[in-house]
Amino acid sequence: MKTKGLTALLVLTVMTVSSFAQDAEKRFGFEFNSGVSIATQELSGTSLNTGFGFEGVFHYRFLPHLGAYAGWGWNRFGADESFAGNDVCFEETGYVFGLQFKHSIGGTPLKYYLRAGGLYNHIETENSDGDIINDTGHGLGYQLAAGVEVSIGRNWSLTPGVKFNSLNREADFDGITKDLDYNYVSLRIGIVKRF
């Protein structure tokens, strides 16, 4: 009987200390992430080269494992040949917002995170001189992401992960309307500062 009581007391103590440790973690954070992007389909019949992008995101944790995030991002794909001409670039820029679930992995200092959110972005088409030849205007899309958070010091973490962005916009090129389904997977590494 004493063993069961001591075991229960020990489990209760560990859970209490664990909950205090989570509450002691800072609620706000800023993350900068960057990495390569791979299109998951052609863009209105155009094959896209491997792309690159980055995001700056603010986090706010309002429950022990759940928080909100919002920020701004940029992603660019080049195309050797396209409906818009040769040697053009398609750039997606705009805002990202959503919810993040984060939880420890066992007793390790690692945490996994899952994100689901929205985008309010637009797609600009640039010619080989860097001039914008088309802008779709902003519209809604969505983002899904997952990864791990690795603590690297007091209130600093690395966040390697993968994300999927989907944005569907229409664009007019020489009087012809094109449906631009801008869907891609990104491999990202980020750094977070909590405050």
pLDDT at 108: 85
77 within domain boundaries: yes
17 within domain boundaries: no
Range of the domain at 72: 27-194
Using the predicted structure, report yes or no on whether residue 178 has a pLDDT greater than 70. Answer: yes
Question: Measuring CA to CA, how many Å separate 164 from each of 75, 116, 142?
Answer: 12, 10, 8
pLDDT at 106: 87
Which domain CATH number covers 182? Answer: 2.40.160.20
Using the predicted structure, report yes or no on whether residue 21 has a pLDDT greater than 50. Answer: no
18 within domain boundaries: no
173 within domain boundaries: yes
pLDDT at 104: 92
**Residue 129: φ, ψ to 5°:** -85, -5
Q: What is the mean pLDDT of residues 20-26?
A: 58
10 within domain boundaries: no
- For 83-160, list the strands marked E by DSSP: 85-104, 110-126, 132-135, 139-153, 156-158
Using the predicted structure, report yes or no on whether residue 40 has a pLDDT greater than 70. Answer: yes
Here the tokens at position 64 are 């022990």
pLDDT at 86: 87
9 within domain boundaries: no
Number of domains comprising the chain: 1
Q: What is the mean pLDDT of residues 116-125?
A: 96
pLDDT at 24: 66
pLDDT at 57: 97
